[in-house]
Amino acid sequence: MAKYWNEEMECMEPDKMRALQSERLVKQVRHVWDNVPYYRKKMEEKGITPDDIKGIEDLHKLPFLSKADLRDAYPTGLLAKPLSECVRIHSTSGTTGKRVVAYYTQHDIDLWNDCTARAITAAGGTKDDVVQVCYGYGLFTGGAGLDGGSHTIGCLTLPMSSGNTERQIQFMEDLGSTIICCTPSYAAYIGETLKKMGKSPDDLKLKAGIFGAEPWTEEMRQEIQNSLGIKAYDIYGLTEISGPGVAFECECQEGMHINEDNFIAEIINPETGEPLPDGTKGELVFTSITKEAFPMLRYRTRDICVLTRGKCKCGRTLVKMAKPMGRSDDMLIIRGVNVFPSQIESVLLKMCNASPNYQIIVGRENNNDTFEIRVELTDDMWTDTIKSIEELEKKIAVDMHTVLGIKAKIRLVEPNSIPRSEGKAVRVIDTRKLV
Ligand code: DLL
């Protein structure tokens, strides 16, 4: 059984990898300078040109990119290839109304598929496996990303998307799925449903699961491994940098290997932007050195993380990232969907004609995220009939669903009933304890 999908890249000597990264970085900076006026202006503002970037040691000279830049440059301002050469987009929520749109050429898709093929192989997958992909298909990168890797290896691929859990289990049983790919919370839910259906892991052929897109704990890993009778692997990625497969876990289950031949990882101090040494906790920053259509130079992920170098027991030399330990912004991941409080605020502002006092309450029941938004009635909204309050709650819920992409329970509460804090308003109460 093949242990690696791309042994040359996954086990490359660190010095050779650094040389490869340097060569690709220099080329990428030139490509961006020539084709992306938005980033060229940022470089000019910093007083640098591509000639200043001679290798990876000069990376720190480049300006950062952030979600705010993506919003400013929306929808095509960061595109580095003509649209006619792009074959796909994916998208995710942005900090305010605007979504992030990422573009791919066929070459970008092929490289991405290679990354997810590495992840599936590291989880023990070969062409003889049956891979059930229960990440969402569509604009979200989860479904397409793992689907692409599975096809690349030649596995039989079940493009299920998420939901309809009993049918998922029926397919697993009937078609003998051996690998499942979904969010960890959905995996836990499938485990529970299996039990409720009076079945056990012995009724299935599952051996591994590839879970990511949201934070999860070691305790959850144990729970999923037991309830589904599998080994559970973590996978990390973000739409801006391609999608799942930026980093993946190997059999050692001690952090995720970053596909360094495609992405240069740095850790920075989120306050000052100063690069920090390996082993230090800070914000993860990626530079994509092989992407053609939507290359990101020093993109700030806002994920707080630690990098560790050294040869892994699995034989891979790729640098490892720890599970993300939180965010340096206020983004929440609820049922696998990225949610920013500013999006919620913009809906309320539109509905209420004033900035209302609100609180977001996120919890977890039976491995499912609960999501409630409490909104204080303002004088404008004030009404004393239960019926009109319920109608308003419904209206807000529909708008919220449209903007966020997931359902929230809306509860209108009496004026002045949400506790005021002395400093910053406490907008979010998250009791899930995931990191
Ligand atoms: O969540 C891509 C993905 C799909 C990854 C399927 C893994 C599996 P976005 O929707 O753009 O992309 O969200 C990216 O999700 O910055 C992290 O905060 C979080 N995230 C992704 N993977 C993990 C993970 C996809 N394994 C954001 N652990 C990232 C913790 C994760 N957080």
Per-residue tens of pLDDT for the chain, all 435 residues: 689 999 999 999 999 999 999 999 999 999 999 999 999 999 999 999 999 999 999 999 999 999 999 999 999 999 999 999 999 999 987 766 678 999 999 999 999 999 999 999 999 999 999 999 999 999 999 999 999 999 999 999 999 999 999 999 999 999 999 999 999 989 999 999 999 999 999 999 999 999 999 999 898 899 999 999 999 999 999 999 999 999 999 999 999 999 999 999 999 999 999 999 999 999 999 999 999 999 999 999 999 999 999 999 999 999 999 999 999 998 999 998 999 988 898 888 888 766 678 899 999 988 889 999 999 887 767 676 888 889 989 999 999 999 999 999 999 998 888 877 666 667 899 999 776
Burial class (CB in 10 A: 0-12, 13-18, 19+), 190: buried
| Nearest protein CA to atom 1 of ligand 1, as residue | 213
Q: Tell me which long-range contacts 104-111 makes (C-beta under 8 A, separation of at least 24).
A: 104/242, 104/293, 104/294, 105/81, 105/292, 105/293, 107/292, 108/242, 108/291, 108/292, 108/293, 108/294, 109/148, 111/242, 111/262, 111/290, 111/291
Decide: 21 and 289 in contact? Cβ < 8 Å: yes
- Measured in Å, residue 420 CA sits from the centre of ligand 1 at 33
- Measured in Å, residue 184 CA sits from the centre of ligand 1 at 11
Angle at 159 between CA 154 and CA 164, to 5 degrees: 150
Residue 237 CB: number of other CB atoms within 10 A? 26
Q: CA–CA separation, 400 vs 395, rounded Å?
A: 9
Residues with CB under 6 A from ligand 1: 92, 135, 141-142, 145, 212-215, 234-239, 243-244, 301, 303, 323-324, 333, 338
Decide: 249 and 255 in contact? Cβ < 8 Å: yes
What are the beta bridge partners of residue 258?
Answer: 247
Q: What are phi and psi of 86, to 5 degrees?
A: -90, 145
Q: Enumerate domains of the chain plus CATH numbers.
A: 1-327 (3.40.50.12780), 332-430 (3.30.300.30)
| Nearest protein CA to atom 29 of ligand 1, as residue | 238
| Nearest protein CA to atom 13 of ligand 1, as residue | 238
The number of the ligand 1 atom at minimal distance from the alpha carbon of 211 is 8
Q: What are phi and psi of 181, to 5 degrees?
A: -125, 120
User: Rg of the chain over CA atoms, in angstroms?
Assistant: 23
Give, in order, the Cα–Cα distances in Å from 175 to each of 45, 130, 146, 160, 330. Answer: 57, 8, 18, 12, 42
The number of the ligand 1 atom at minimal distance from the alpha carbon of 323 is 28
Decide: 94 and 100 in contact? Cβ < 8 Å: yes
- Measured in Å, residue 329 CA sits from the centre of ligand 1 at 15
